[in-house]
Amino acid sequence: MIYNIYSKRKGFEILCPLGSYPLFLRKNKDDKEELIKFLSEEGTRHKTSSLYVHIPFCDSLCNFCCFYRGLLKETQAIRYLDALKKEIVRYSDTNYVKSSSFASIYIGGGTPTSLRTEQLTDLLALLKERFNIRSDAEITVETTTHNAERDKLEALYENGVNRLSFGVQTFKDSIRNILTLTDTRSEAISVIRAAREIGFENIDIDLMYNLPGQSMDDWKMDLRQAAELELESISPNPLFVARGTAFAKQIAAGEIPPISGNRVEIDMYLLAISELENAGYRQQNLVHFVLPEKEHLYARMRFGSQDCLALGTSGGGFLGAYLYGNVRGINRYIEKIESTNAEFPVNICAKLTAEELMHKYVIWGLHSTEVGKNAFRELFGVELVDAFPEQIKSLERRGLIESDKSMIVLTTAGKVWCTNVAEEFCPERYVTIFEKMFGD
């Protein structure tokens, strides 16, 4: 049965940090110093890189959100953007970044569109001035439908943004109220249609499932409404109730209904796959479904082997063989940037060994539902099946992956249990860390 392949199902939210496992134990200052030296001396390992910029502000705080963000305060936002601009300049002055070109940019948060229009356009102008951004680059800005005013969207479009990602979550107003979303279904749809009228040809929306009070019919209606809007990308994600969030406290106090168990969540995920494929979408990765002629380039690059330069507080990046995470906290980030040493805001850093790079490549590749054997051989000089013979044989035997000459691919069961599958490629001594971080 697809419901009980493992004794406990691990959530998709663990998958990204799982591939970054060396960061959580190795806090070697030498690795950070080596990274800075590497940036000053080295050229790029890949032809193209991706760029992530974190904007940690929202004009209202959703009760379910566990990403690092804070309520927008204009004075603090001005200081943060000044610090961010300094970080951009520092990285752009390094030899490594000077020799890099960027094919995808993702401005996430938080809610970047909580900033004023001129703040966003100034940031975009500096990115273009300081980095080698390809003329055909995918440039995404995350937004919500309640603060994506038409003039702001027009300014983003005119300044090169060609992909929007709206955090819609659900079209059912009663559940939107539970999630403390501040606009209605009809208002959200109007904003999405306005973005299309402006000229955006690549629009994504996030939808969530296994929400309090959400039935299977509610979820089906959300999926069909999204498909009717003819969006280029639809991203269904299961609700993750993070410890310490307002949402978790409300559930514990009985103020809002509890979420359903694993079986319902699995059924909802399977329904999403079925509904979206029937509507003409293909599954690019675990949580992104795109029209056949489209793709989410940033996601493909981020979960492949390409570099990602991450800027801003709490940003996590990968440069050369170095995984790193920036300091968490708006004021800490500003202090780090404004220090007399003119530091990079890196808090933790790990230079990965060849073995760790192989683990990361497979774990993150599974997020895209397949791992290429030829690419693995070219990168590491060894066959994938020779690097992980026991894992691959065991997963094939249990019907979680299929393998041919060119790649291993997750089956439907493998997609459902993907984080558990990925854990089998993570050294066992690290798995308990993630249990403590993300467990019940």
The pLDDT tens digits of the residues spanning 173-182 come to 999 999 999 9
Q: What is the DSSP string of 75-96?
A: HHHHHHHHHHHHHHHHHHTSHH
SS3 317: strand
pLDDT of residue 10: 84
Single residue among 267, 302, 337 that ends a domain in this structure: 302
Helix (H, G, I), strand (E, B) or coil at 261: coil
Q: What is the token pair recorded at 368?
A: 């895209």
Q: Is residue 336 part of a domain?
A: no
Specify whether 147 is located in the same domain as 47.
Answer: yes
**348: pLDDT strictly greater than 60:** yes
Could you say which of 282, 302, 322 is where a domain stops? 302
CA distance 125 to 121: 6
88 and 5, same domain (yes or no): no
Q: In which band, very low, low, confident or very high, does the pLDDT at 12 lie, cut at 50, 70 and 90?
A: confident
User: CA 307, 298, 107: angle at the middle one, nearest 5?
Assistant: 95
Q: How confident is the model over 210-228, as pLDDT tens digits? A: 999 999 999 999 999 999 9
State the pTM of this model: 0.95
If one counts the domains in the chain, the total is 2
Q: What is the pLDDT of residues 110-165, one digit of tens each?
A: 999 999 999 999 999 999 999 999 999 999 999 999 999 999 999 999 999 999 99
pLDDT at position 438 is: 60
Residue 10 sits in the same domain as residue 105 = no
Q: Are residues 152 and 233 in the same domain?
A: yes
Q: What is the mean pLDDT of the chain?
A: 92
| CA distances from residue 400 to 5, 158, 393 in whole angstroms, order as listed | 9, 45, 10
Residue 440 has pLDDT above 70, yes or no: no
Flag the least confident range among 43-47, 332-336, 353-357: 43-47
Task: Give the range of the structural domain holding residue 276, as residue numbers without chain letter.
Answer: 21-302
Contact, 95 vs 351, CB < 8 A? Answer: no
Q: How many helices (H) and strands (E) does the chain have?
A: 20, 17
Does the residue 348 lie in any domain? no
Residue 392's Cα: distance from chain center in Å?
Answer: 26
Instruction: Indicate if 1 and 61 belong to the same structural domain.
Output: no
Find, among 272, 386, 297, 357, the residue nearest to 50 by Cα.
Answer: 297
Q: How far apart are alpha carbons 346 and 31 in whole angstroms?
A: 11
290 and 213 in a single domain? The answer is yes
Residue 349 lies in a domain: no
Residue 114 in any domain: the answer is: yes
SS3 content of the chain, % helix, strand, coil (to 5): 45, 20, 35
Portion of the chain with pLDDT greater than 70, in percent: 96
* CATH number, domain containing residue 414: 1.10.10.920
Distance of CA 20 to the CA centre of its chain: 13
Verify that 280 and 419 share a domain, yes or no.
no
Is 297 a domain residue? yes
Say what the pLDDT of residue 71 is. Answer: 85
| Model confidence at 45: pLDDT above 70 | no
Residue 344 lies in a domain: no
The gap between the terminal CA atoms of the chain, to the nearest Å, is 24
- The phi, psi pair for 175, rounded to 5°, reads -80, -35
Give the lowest-confidence range in 243-257, 293-307, 366-380.
243-257
For tokens 């040809």, the residue is 201
Long-range contacts of residues 407-410, Cβ cutoff 8 Å, at least 24 apart: 407/370, 407/371, 407/372, 407/373, 408/370, 408/371, 408/373, 408/384, 409/369, 409/370, 410/366, 410/369, 410/370
Whether residue 200 sits in one domain with residue 124: yes
Give the pLDDT confidence score for residue 276 in this predicted structure. 98
**pLDDT band at residue 186 using 50, 70 and 90 as cut-offs:** very high
